[in-house]
Chain A
Amino acid sequence: MRILISGAGEVGFLIASELHMDHDVTVIDKDPAACARLQDMDVKVLQGNSANARLLITAGIEKADIVAAVTGNDEVNVITCIIASHFGVNHTMARVSNPEYIDRPVQDRKEIGISYMVSPELVMAEDLARSLYFPSMLLDRELAGGKIELIEFKVTKEMPLQGTIDEIKANLPDNCKIMAINRMGDVSIPSKDDRIMFNDHLFLLCDPKSLPELRRMLHEESRPHKALIVGGGMVGFYLASQLEKMGLDVKLIELNTERCREIADKLSSTMILNGDGTDISLMREEGAEYMDVVFAVTGLDEKNLLCSLLAKQLGAKKILSRVNRYDYIKLFELVGVDRAVSPGQVTADAVLQRVSGGEEVITLSDERMELVDFIAKAKAKVIGKSISKELPKDSMVGMILRDGKPMMADDNFKVNEGDRVFVMSMPEVVSKVKKLFTS
Chain B
Amino acid sequence: MRVRVFLRLFASLLRILAVLLLVPGAVAAYYGETGGVIAFAVTSLITLATGIILGKLSTEDEPGLKEGFALVAFGWLGAAFFGALPYVFLGTGFVDGLFESMSAFTTTGSSILTEANAHGYWIINSTQADMSLAHCIEAGIRNMTANSTVLDISSTADKSYMGLLFWRSFAQWLGGMGIILLFVAILPRLGIAGRQLYRAEVPGPDKDSFTPRIKQTAQLLWVVYIILTIAEIVLLYLAGMPFYDSLCNTFASMATGGFSPQALSIAAYKSWIIDAIITLFCFLAGANFALHYKALKSDRKALFNDPEFRFYASIVLAATATIVLWGGLDGDIWHRIQLAVFQVVSIMTTTGFATDDFDRWTAAAKFTLMLLMIIGACAGSTGGAIKVVRIQLVLKSAYRELFHALHPRAVIPLKLGGIPVKDEVLRPSNIFIATYIMIFALASLLLAIISYDDPRMTIETILSATATTLGNVGPGFGMVGPMFSFAELDPAAKMLLFFCMWIGRLEIVSALVLLLPEFWKK
Contacts and interface: CB of A to CB of B under 8 A. Distances in A.
A275 interface: yes
A266 B343 CA distance: 41
A14 B407 CA distance: 43
B227 interface: no
A274 to B, nearest CB: 5
B409 A257 contact: no
A275 B413 CA distance: 16
A268 interface: yes
B188 interface: no
A282 interface: yes
A273 B413 contact: no
A367 interface: no
Contacts of B412: 264, 271-272
Contacts of B418: 268
Given A265-B420, A268-B418, A286 B407 contact: yes
Contacts, number: 32
A261 B412 CA distance: 8
Contacts of A257: 411
Interface in B376-434: 407, 409-413, 415, 418, 420
B294 to A, nearest CB: 23
A235 interface: no
B407 A273 contact: yes
B206 to A, nearest CB: 16
Contact of B409 (A261, A264, A282): A282
Interface in A232-279: 257, 260-261, 264-265, 268, 271-275
A238 B418 CA distance: 17
A264 B407 contact: no
Nearest to B413: A264
The contact size tier of chain B is: under 10
A275 B420 contact: no
Nearest to B423: A261
B411 A260 contact: yes
Contacts of A268: 415, 418
Interface size of A as a range: 10 to 19
A273 B412 CA distance: 8
A243 to B, nearest CB: 17
A285 B420 CA distance: 26
Nearest to B403: A271
Contacts of B407: 271, 273, 285-286
Interface string A20-48: 00000000000000000000000000000
A272 B412 CA distance: 7
Interface string A347-362: 0000000000000000
Contacts of A273: 407, 409-411
A272 B410 CA distance: 5
A254 to B, nearest CB: 8
A422 B134 CA distance: 102
A271 B418 CA distance: 15
A409 to B, nearest CB: 50
A264 B415 CA distance: 10
A265 B409 contact: no
Contact of A274 (B411, B413, B415, B420): B411
A274 B409 CA distance: 5
A296 B409 CA distance: 18
Contact of B413 (A265, A282, A286): A265
A268 B412 CA distance: 10
A275 B409 CA distance: 7
Name, among B409, B410, B411, B412, the residue most crowded by chain A CB atoms within 10 Å (CB to CB): B411
A263 to B, nearest CB: 9
B502 to A, nearest CB: 38
Contacts of B410: 271-274
Contacts of A282: 409
A285 B413 CA distance: 20
Contacts of B413: 261, 264-265
Nearest to A253: B409
A257 B413 CA distance: 12
B392 to A, nearest CB: 17
A227 to B, nearest CB: 16
Contacts of B411: 257, 260-261, 264, 272-274
A271 B420 CA distance: 14
Nearest to B421: A265
Interface in B98-115: none
A260 B420 CA distance: 13
A273 B413 CA distance: 11
Nearest to A263: B411
A322 B295 CA distance: 48
Nearest to B412: A264
Interface in A197-222: none
Contacts of A275: 409
A282 B411 CA distance: 14
A268 to B, nearest CB: 6
B397 to A, nearest CB: 15
A271 B411 CA distance: 7
A124 B410 CA distance: 26
A285 B406 CA distance: 9
Interface string A286-305: 10000000000000000000
A271 B412 CA distance: 7
Contacts of A260: 411
Nearest to B422: A265
B301 to A, nearest CB: 20
Nearest to A259: B411
A268 B414 CA distance: 10
B447 to A, nearest CB: 44
A232 B66 CA distance: 45
A26 B323 CA distance: 80
Contacts of B420: 264-265
Contacts of B409: 273-275, 282, 285-286
Q: Which 9 A-B pairs have the closest CB atoms?
A: A260-B411, A265-B420, A264-B413, A272-B411, A273-B409, A275-B409, A264-B411, A265-B413, A274-B411
Given A257-B411, A260-B411, A264-B420, 11 more contacts: A261-B411, A264-B411, A264-B413, A268-B415, A268-B418, A271-B407, A271-B410, A272-B411, A274-B410, A285-B407, A286-B409
28 contacts: A257-B411, A260-B411, A261-B411, A261-B413, A264-B411, A264-B413, A264-B420, A265-B413, A265-B415, A265-B420, A268-B415, A268-B418, A271-B407, A271-B410, A271-B412, A272-B410, A272-B411, A272-B412, A273-B410, A273-B411, A274-B409, A274-B410, A275-B409, A282-B409, A285-B407, A285-B409, A286-B407, A286-B409
